[in-house]
Amino acid sequence: MPLQLHPMTTEDALSWTRVRALAYYGPTHDVLHNGPISESSIRGVAEDRKRELRKPNSWHWKVVDTDLEPSSDDPSNNGGRTIAVSVWSMHNTQAGKGESGNNETPSIPAEKADDTPGFLPPELRLEPLGSLLGPLRAAQASIMGTSTPYFMLNQLATHPDHQGRGAAKMMLDWGMQKADEEELATYLDSTVTGRPVYERRGFALVKALEWDRVPWGGEGKDWHGCMVRPAKRVEK
């Protein structure tokens, strides 16, 4: 099978950053930045990704097309080209609960991992970013609370040239299985296009948020859906 699922390592930081940037590009991206993102900024963000990979209670996956040669961003031993990435995390956990992305038991919960300020691309506009993320973070806390453990899909991005080939399904399959094994509900923020995909996987819309681009120099509104998939008990 040409598509394979593998855990990411620090050597994947650059391809992760590039795939995510290409997949997420759109009107909101343009409003959140004061110009095209430079190559130095891409690489600065990639260095930050290496630190993210060490966070406990988090899992980082890539889908590799083994029929293609690795891109210039991929590790030389990638076995193909990385076409999609995803990040998952477990929240409200006690020390030792869950597993790290490297299959090691974490010593601290994800919420108390390294919070040292990371690299901020000079192109990034912090005020509009805060106005977008603030309500999303508040909604997450309101919906999921601060005491009951839950699983979360933080990111899922497929390179635009490879969308619709099943890479997202492979990563969602892993996440749903992991959530079921842990008997945890799963939370995510969805776009309009992603909503029907997640609804087919058992997620329900709990809250919808709109972000107006006009006050920040853009046009139209961005829509985000706060979605939850209930916990499922697995027969053991």
Residue 52 above 80 pLDDT?
Answer: yes
Alpha-helical runs (H) found in the chain: 13-23, 27-32, 39-52, 126-144, 167-182, 195-200
- pTM (2 d.p.): 0.88
Domains, the chain, ordered by start: 3-90+116-229 (3.40.630.30)
Q: Note the pLDDT of residue 100.
A: 42
Cβ-based neighbour number of residue 126 at 10 Å: 9
Dist. CA 190–CA 224, nearest whole Å: 5
pLDDT tens, 155-208? 999 999 999 999 999 999 999 999 999 999 999 999 999 999 999 999 999 999
Burial 103-113 (b: 16+ CB within 10 A, else e): eeebeebbeeb
Strands 150-158 and 186-190: parallel
Q: Residue written as tokens 């609370």?
A: 145
CA dihedral for 37, 38, 39, 45, sign (positive or negative): negative
Q: DSSP character for 32?
A: H
Judge whether 71 and 81 are in contact, CB under 8 Å. yes
pLDDT tens, 9-28? 999 999 999 999 999 999 99
